Amino acid sequence: MKYVFDTEAILKFYLGEDGAPKVLELLKHVQDKKVKGYISIINLTEFYYILYRKSPEIATQKVENLLSFGLVPIEIKDNDLWREAGKLKALHNIPLADAFAAATANHLKATLVAGKDADFEGIEVDMMRV
């Protein structure tokens, strides 16, 4: 099983919001190598800048902590990946980071771990809401 984590799901975990225990459970499964976990470099950037606005030190610590679970950042080297993200952004008018999360999940044939916002409505992607 493979999971791609959206920024909102990761923030729920670090901010202790509703859904945090499920995200922690999935991250522990990644850490224990029971499943594979990924995050788009765009979503990792979004996570970092949201925390950076509060504290550069906290942003650095939380990114290091997140990656210590074994999440693999997916860089944008593949033309199909960025084109799919662009297509999703154009057709569904969603935030760019969400488009990359969904495109990365589709590209890797993985389940997208996302929050409960409506941004992903109508997008064809295997998804788990937290």
pLDDT digit string (tens) for 27-53? 999 999 999 999 999 999 999 999 999
Token pair, residue 71, equals: 């999440």
Range of the domain at 95: 2-117
Residue 130 lies in a domain: no
State pTM to two decimals: 0.95
The verdict on residue 127 lying in a domain is no
Residue 104 has pLDDT above 90, yes or no: yes
CB atoms within 10 A of CB 6: 29
Residue 117 has pLDDT above 90, yes or no: no
Confidence of residue 78 (pLDDT cuts 50, 70, 90): confident
What CATH number is given to the structural domain containing 91? 3.40.50.1010
Q: How many domains does the chain have?
A: 1
Q: Is residue 88 part of a domain?
A: yes
Establish if 93 belongs to a structural domain. yes
Q: Tell me whether residue 111 is in a domain.
A: yes
**Three-class DSSP category at 6:** coil
